[in-house]
């Protein structure tokens, strides 16, 4: 929801950063890798017990994840391989955060496992509709908006990491949001793919 409706407010900063990285000679794929490494580092820092550093690193990773796409569009070099890396690395970072939380807080493991299933459900619908739809958007595939997009995920991951005493509640909320989004996308898919 926030990615769809609030992107226009942060896009100028993203675009400016993309142009600066291009001037430095970086490619979009290199920035994708940097964002991925920072995202994995964030999961490691969650495991090590430094929540503020972990959340800051996660958000920098997420920002760079937006910058890489702007770099590709700026140069008109959007590629299927870049899209595959981007979507795959996003899921690996999310799994890294979930695994780190599950190791640190065993009492939340079942809910974290259910959250993972909710993310798989929502992303399966998202990616299948993107692959089957003839519509194209700003991205290299049809982007289905929903209640839970990348920014909402980062907000909920931040709450989970920063406030572990609320972990069961925040994970339950995240699970609800993911399942709701998956169902929302399925209803839209039924309309879009007829």
- Span 2-13, pLDDT tens digits: 666 677 788 899
Q: What angle do CA 139, 20, 61 make, to 5 degrees?
A: 60
Residue ranges per domain, the chain?
Answer: 2-192
Q: CATH top-level class for 2-192?
A: mainly alpha
- pLDDT at res. 112: 98
Residues 112 and 58 sit within 8 Å (Cβ to Cβ)? no
pLDDT of 138 above 70: no
pTM for this entry: 0.89
Query: Which three-class secondary structure state does DSSP give residue 99?
Result: helix
Dump pLDDT digits (tens) for 66-105.
999 999 999 888 888 998 999 999 999 999 999 999 999 9
Residues 147 and 179 sit within 8 Å (Cβ to Cβ)? no
Confidence of residue 169 (pLDDT cuts 50, 70, 90): very high
What is the chain's percent helix, strand, coil content, to nearest 5? 85, 0, 15
């Amino acid at each position: 929801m926030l990615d769809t409706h609030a992107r226009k407010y942060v896009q100028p900063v993203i675009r400016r950063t993309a142009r600066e990285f291009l001037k430095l000679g970086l490619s979009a794929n290199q920035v994708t890798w940097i964002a991925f490494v920072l995202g994995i580092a964030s999961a490691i820092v969650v495991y090590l017990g430094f929540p503020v550093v972990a959340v800051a690193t996660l958000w920098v990773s997420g920002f760079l994840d937006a910058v890489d796409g702007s770099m590709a569009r700026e140069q008109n070099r959007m590629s299927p391989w870049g899209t595959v890396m981007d979507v795959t690395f996003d899921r690996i970072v999310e799994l890294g955060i979930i695994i780190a939380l599950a190791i640190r807080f065993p009492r939340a493991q079942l809910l974290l496992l259910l959250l993972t299933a909710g993310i798989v459900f929502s992303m399966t619908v998202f990616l299948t509709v993107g692959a089957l739809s003839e519509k194209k958007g700003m991205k290299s595939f049809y982007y289905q908006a929903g209640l839970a997009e990348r920014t909402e995920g980062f907000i909920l991951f931040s709450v989970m990491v920063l406030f572990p005493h609320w972990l069961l509640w925040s994970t339950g909320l995240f699970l609800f949001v993911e399942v709701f989004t998956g169902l929302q996308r399925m209803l839209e898919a039924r309309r879009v793919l007829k």
